[in-house]
Structures are given as structure tokens and as C-alpha cells.
A and B are shown apart, each in its own frame.
Chain A
């Protein structure tokens, strides 16, 4: 039985005449990494700030860890870790000072835990924050979100400014969180980022969730580009009727086609020949959503 840790129903938020959310229904389950994906201005940050009670919804309900953010904000935030999309702090303090203080606000985080995380990410704790690069500041933000091992991590664009090594470390950290049955809810406007870390992905467009699916099933239900080299010329006849195969082209010993759905049937037919090489290019999520919605998730939504 999986618990849901975030539930929103018909969540709306209006800023004057601008409708930032138009009835958002969202469910995030315990122990998963949920990728909350959408172009800039689609309402990701608005949703997150409602979950933390930094702003209030115009209508609809939100429940986080079984609590109402509006009325049990303090109890709720005790069990959360949060990283803002734009992590800004007073730069005149050192990273260590800030993290120890924030640890105290959370009721105490062992100093060893802060040291361990800073060593893992390569952050110098005794440097003043204003002297840190953007990437290093982001590390401070990540550490403060992870350090007290919260039940739920809400991360707004967590990997912005991180180099590939740190992105990998971040992915590992989220895996450790979910291995312990804890949950990560992260927003992003970059597909590849969500693809690496998430179990399920929800797509937000213009303030509504347009689809939710697992990264796996998105992949399974999709198109691959297949290229096969044989040791001799083949005819197209044998392949034309294979389930899922389309856009077939055979020239000499080279076969190219598009494959929808499982690869099994095609593989069995290929096995009758001597295959020199086989490439199957999986589309990344970016292409998948281009297919589904005709527009890439990175495309700006005009206001």
C-alpha cells in the first residue's frame, strides 16, 4: 500500500488577472522521485510555494504529508526539506555558519552530517557565501535541504548551476533518499535532468497537469530508431509485416526503420540473418513530448 505524500485537488492561483494555476490535480507517492516538468511560467514555482504556505491558493486544496500547509505549516515544514529555485542568502556569513543556524531552526542537525555532505559535494564551509560561485552556492542550498533527512524533499530546479559530476552526485543522493522510503518532488524545465532522476514525470502546461506517466512507460510506449547492418544484402519483404515496424528502408545490407512498442517481434525476424551491428536509438523525453504535444517542453509559453 503506497501512501500519497502530496495531494492537490483543483488548485488554482490568480495573481490579479493572471491565472498561474487553473485547477491542478497532483498526486505524489511515498518513496518516489516525482519530476514536475514544465516550461518557465507554467506554474511550477507557484505550486511549490503553495505547498510550503509561502503563498495561498485562490481555491482548491493541498495536503502534504497528511497536513494542510495553511494551518499546520510549522509542523509540516519540520518534516520537509526545500530548495528554492533562486537560492539567495545574506552573503556576509560563511556557508558553515548558515548551515549550523538552519540546522538549529530544524531542531538540531549533527555537525558531522553537515561536514559529511560538504565533503561529498566539495564545498568549503569556512568560505563567506558571497565569495562562492553560483554552483557552490547551489551546493549550500542542496545541503540545507538534505541535511536533516526529511521525509519529503521539495526541490525547485535543483540542478541548475551544477556541473555534470555534481548532477550525478545529486542523482545518487535522491536515490538514497528514495531507498529509505523518503520522497523527492522536484521541478525542472530540462527534460534530460528529470529523465535521469525521476520515477514518474508530471507535465505542467499553463497551470494544469497535462499528463503523468512513469519514465519507463513513456519509453516503452514510444518510438525507437533502429539501424541494422547485415553481412549481405537483404530484401525488405521479411520485415515489412513485423508488428511495430514502419518507415522501413532497406538498401543493400543496411536496414533502417522506425519501431513502435516492444522490440521482440523485430528481433526474432532479425535472428534469421547474420547481424553485424544493431543500433536502437531511444528518443529522450524531449522528443517524446514533442511527439505527444507537438511542442517541446522548453518552449516558452506566451503569457
Chain B
């Protein structure tokens, strides 16, 4: 029985969520399984001959260990990008997409406050992120033996997945906030995507410019894996930054949403 906005959102999104989970599991595990070829000393030697600048731009500086490889490719790039795209797409839909489609009026003509509707949907989205990354974690643990990265403790993998969840939510909540405040899908999409591109540039390209090294510390990609959660476990500072920013985004977006007129 679907009784709440929270449950309704998850139920209505079930195919979408299953599709994304499958994509993340297959692509993520596929890249992880590729690690075995990098383990080959010849490949490591090959990489050493690459210009350092290119490797840095690609975040491939420490690709000769399982932790370094997974952190740079699977978590730092492929799955990170998938989670960003997923989060922006959901963040856009939470309010702005529904509003533009004209289906928000119906729910809000019921005894549901805007605050409750917004928070229930954001909570449902965060739940979906955690569930997807939990499934992905199970899959990674399952293939860690055959793909020869079982030297990484499952707890460290879990820490990495939590960092990835907080990282994804950062983009989802920003996109949600812009959509909730403006009611415009396009604004939300543009802001979320722009932030993603900027974040990526801040972790690779921009720090290579003269005197711009400091920028790297402020990139969400650094908060994602700069502290090497696969090696050291959770990084409280980085998690706190991501969660605090997300809370600020949700708060600002939701307050603005409560104050404005809904589009017809």
C-alpha cells in the first residue's frame, strides 16, 4: 500500500531506479574487473612513460595499486559521473520537472504541505542513492576475489561508497534547490551540470595552472576520494563538508519553494 509521498516517489520511480542500479553495477564492476590487466608490470611500466601532467589531469597518479586504480577509474570517474548524471536527473524532477509537467498541483491540493512534499521526495532520493550504492557494494565485494582486489577490506569499500553517496547527494540537492526555487527544469539542469563540469575541472585541469594548486582542495572530487577512503577509511572532514553543503542546498531550496507561486 502506497500511503506517503515518500513511498509513492520510490514506487513510481522503480523502473528508473532499477535501470540506473543495473547500469552502475555493470559499468562499475566492468571497470573494476579491468584492474587485472593493470596489475601487469608491463602496463605499469607503460604508464610510467606517460607525461605526469596528463596522468594528473586524469587523476591516474597512483594507478599501480588496486586502491589507486579503483579510486581513480571506478569511483573517481566512471561511477562518479553516472551518479552525478543520475542525481542531476532526479534533482531536476523532484519539483521543477513535475511542476512543468503540471502534475504537482494535484498533490499540493491535498493536505500535504510544500515542506513535507519537498522533504519526503528529497529523502526518497537520498534513500535511492544509498540503496543503489549498497547494491553496488555487494556486487563489488562479490567480484573482489575473482578480480583480485580482495586485498581491500570490505569496510574500506563501504567507506568509499559512503563518500560516493555524499558526493552524489551534493549534486542532487543543488539541482533540486535550483528547481524548487525557480520551478524551471532548465535552470536546475544547467546549474547541476555546470557545477559538475566545474568540479571536475577543479580537480584536474585548473590546479595545473600557475598558482592554482589550492583549487584542488575545494573540488568535490577531492572530497570524494582525495583522502583515499579505500586506504584510510572515512574522512570526517570531507564528509562533513559535503553533507553540510547538501543540507544548506536543501534548506535554501525548500524555503524558496514555500514562498513562491506554483506555475500552472
A residues near B (Cβ < 8 Å) are: 45, 49, 52, 54-56, 73-75, 77-78, 80, 82, 84, 86-90, 92-93, 97, 100-102, 104-107, 144
Contact = CB atoms under 8 A, between A and B. Distances in A.
Given A93-B12, A104-B2, A84 B113 contact: no
A55 B261 contact: yes
Given A88-B102, A93-B12, 19 more contacts: A49-B105, A49-B264, A56-B261, A73-B113, A77-B110, A84-B106, A84-B109, A86-B264, A89-B103, A90-B103, A101-B8, A104-B1, A104-B3, A104-B4, A105-B5, A105-B107, A105-B110, A105-B111, A105-B112
Given A49-B264, A55-B261, A56-B261, A102 B110 contact: yes
A101 B9 CA distance: 11
Contact of B109 (A54, A55, A97, A107): A54
Contacts of B4: 104
Given A54-B261, A89-B103, A77 B111 contact: yes
A181 to B, nearest CB: 21
A205 B153 CA distance: 72
Given A84-B106, A90-B103, A92-B12, A97 B111 contact: no
Contacts of A52: 108-109
Interface residues of B, number: 22
12 contacts: A49-B105, A54-B105, A54-B261, A74-B113, A75-B111, A80-B109, A86-B102, A97-B2, A105-B110, A105-B111, A106-B110, A106-B111
B264 A88 contact: no
B164 to A, nearest CB: 30
Nearest to B2: A101
B262 interface: yes
A106 to B, nearest CB: 6
B109 A77 contact: yes
Contacts of B138: none
A296 B207 CA distance: 69
B262 A89 contact: no
B101 interface: yes
Contacts of A97: 2
A155 to B, nearest CB: 11
A19 B17 CA distance: 44
B18 to A, nearest CB: 14
A78 B113 CA distance: 11
Contacts of B5: 105
B117 to A, nearest CB: 10
A75 B111 CA distance: 7
Given A88-B103, A92-B12, A93-B12, A82 B109 contact: yes
Contacts of A104: 1-4
Given A86-B102, A88-B103, A55 B262 contact: yes
A74 B103 contact: no
Nearest to A85: B264
B118 to A, nearest CB: 14
A4 B4 CA distance: 33
Interface in B200-255: none
Nearest to A78: B111
B264 to A, nearest CB: 7
A49 B261 CA distance: 9
A54 B111 contact: no
Interface in B65-87: none
A184 to B, nearest CB: 16
Nearest to A91: B103
B185 to A, nearest CB: 15
Nearest to A13: B261
Contacts of A90: 12, 103
Contacts of B106: 84, 87-89, 102, 144
Contacts of A78: 111
A105 B113 CA distance: 11
A86 B101 CA distance: 11
Nearest to B262: A54
Nearest to A53: B108
